[in-house]
Amino acid sequence: MPSLKALRTRINSVKSTQKITSAMKMVAASKLRRAQAQAEASRPYAERMERMLGALAASVAGSPAAPKLLVGTGREQIHLLIAVTADRGLAGAFNASIGRATRTLTRRLEAEGKTVKLLAVGRKGRDFLNRELSSRMIGDVSYAGKRRIAFTDAEDLALRVTAMIEAGEVDVVTLVYNQFRSVMSQIVTEQQLVPAPIPEGAGAADALDGATYDFEPDEETILSRLLPQNLAIQLYRALLESSAGFFASQMTAMDSATRNAGDMIKRLTLNYNRARQANITRELIEIISGAEAL
């Protein structure tokens, strides 16, 4: 049986841990709201971009001059995986599941004889991949210390990817990130960015009752500008989803940590009271038997 003093110290330390976890939970909850709002605000642009891209792609598809970002380099040999994680931990399995998914995908691609290159976004992912798959790493990006992710951050990343595609360094680009489904569930998603998946239905023609768009300047020029922009917005969307997912995951993790700490405090307090009462009883017995002996 631990001494009363030892129990008291433990109760106090668990209590302060609980204070920290519950504060972190509150902070994560408020950051989550902000991140979610930001993710929602980016949606209109992405939707309209998709509509335009659909209209354009439909009219360029099949032409030999189609840009590489749309149709790829024509090979499937070198895969670039972009793993999006957070910069911080204490968020349950959030970062680990991305790491694991990336590792599985890398192993699978390599088993098929492909070459894999890795780009890590976020400190946690970088650390994990450096440990496990360091020979495939070609770089990392971190947004640590930024209050919010700006579109220009995604643009820079998109420029880097575009340069690699144009130089023929990579053939296929896949993004691995946590999709924000709800506060309770973030789903690890693998999304192919290049060659760009053509939006379903390329529905512009329906919206116009069969009429087609005129382009100014020509389709190819517009497309050569629109595609990098589309890549940037896709990356931006993934970064925002991932950041909302991170806070959701952190909130859930901290919530259960707070609850566990509560349970522990209850158990320790019970032990403490038992020990205290046992002490009192023992002292009483000592006094009574002392008095009887006289």
Partner 1 sequence: MPVALEIVSPEKLLLSRPVDMVVIPASEGDMGVLEGHTPMIVMLRGGPIDIYTGEQISERLFVAGGFAEITQERCTVLANEAIPVAQLSRAEGQRRLAEAEAAYAAADTSDPTIEDTLLDRIQSARAMTEVAEG
**Pick from 14, 28, 55, 118: which binds partner 1 (CB under 8 A)?**
55
State residue 34 phi and psi, 5-degree precision: -65, -45
User: Which is nearest to 82 in space by CA: 119, 115, 132?
Assistant: 119
Look-up: residue for tokens 């989803």? 241
**What order of strands is seen across the sheet that includes strand 172-180?**
137-141, 115-121, 78-84, 172-180, 186-194
Sequence-separated (6 or more) residues with CB below 8 Å from residue 222: 56, 215
Please count the other Cβ atoms lying within 10 Å of the Cβ belonging to residue 89.
16
Q: Does 44 bind partner 1 (CB under 8 A)?
A: yes
Q: Does 210 bind partner 1 (CB under 8 A)?
A: no
**Pick from 112, 200, 214, 292: which binds partner 1 (CB under 8 A)?**
214
User: Which is nearest to 121 in space by CA: 69, 171, 161, 180?
Assistant: 161
Q: How far is the CB of 173 from partner 1 (least distance, A)?
A: 18
**Pick from 221, 256, 273, 281: which binds partner 1 (CB under 8 A)?**
221
Provide the angle, in degrees to the nearest 10, between the axes of the packed helices 43-60 and 4-41: 50
Q: Does 236 bind partner 1 (CB under 8 A)?
A: yes
> What is 272-286 written as a DSSP string?
HHHHHHHHHHHHHHH
Report the site for partner 1 in 107-166 (rule: CB under 8 A).
150-151, 154
Q: Does 64 bind partner 1 (CB under 8 A)?
A: no
The footprint of partner 1 on this chain (CB under 8 A) covers a number of residues equal to 33
Which tokens sit at 278? Answer: 């046992």
Q: How far is the CB of 250 from partner 1 (least distance, A)?
A: 24
**Pick from 1, 65, 184, 211: which binds partner 1 (CB under 8 A)?**
211
Q: Does 98 bind partner 1 (CB under 8 A)?
A: no
Span near partner 1 by CB under 8 A; candidates 50-58, 130-138, 168-176, 251-259: 50-58
Q: Does 213 bind partner 1 (CB under 8 A)?
A: yes
- For residues 168 and 148, give the distance between their C-alpha atoms in angstroms, rounded to a whole number: 33
Q: Which residues bind partner 1 (CB under 8 A)?
A: 38, 41-42, 44-46, 48-49, 51-52, 55-56, 150-151, 154, 207-208, 211-217, 221-222, 224-226, 229, 232-233, 236
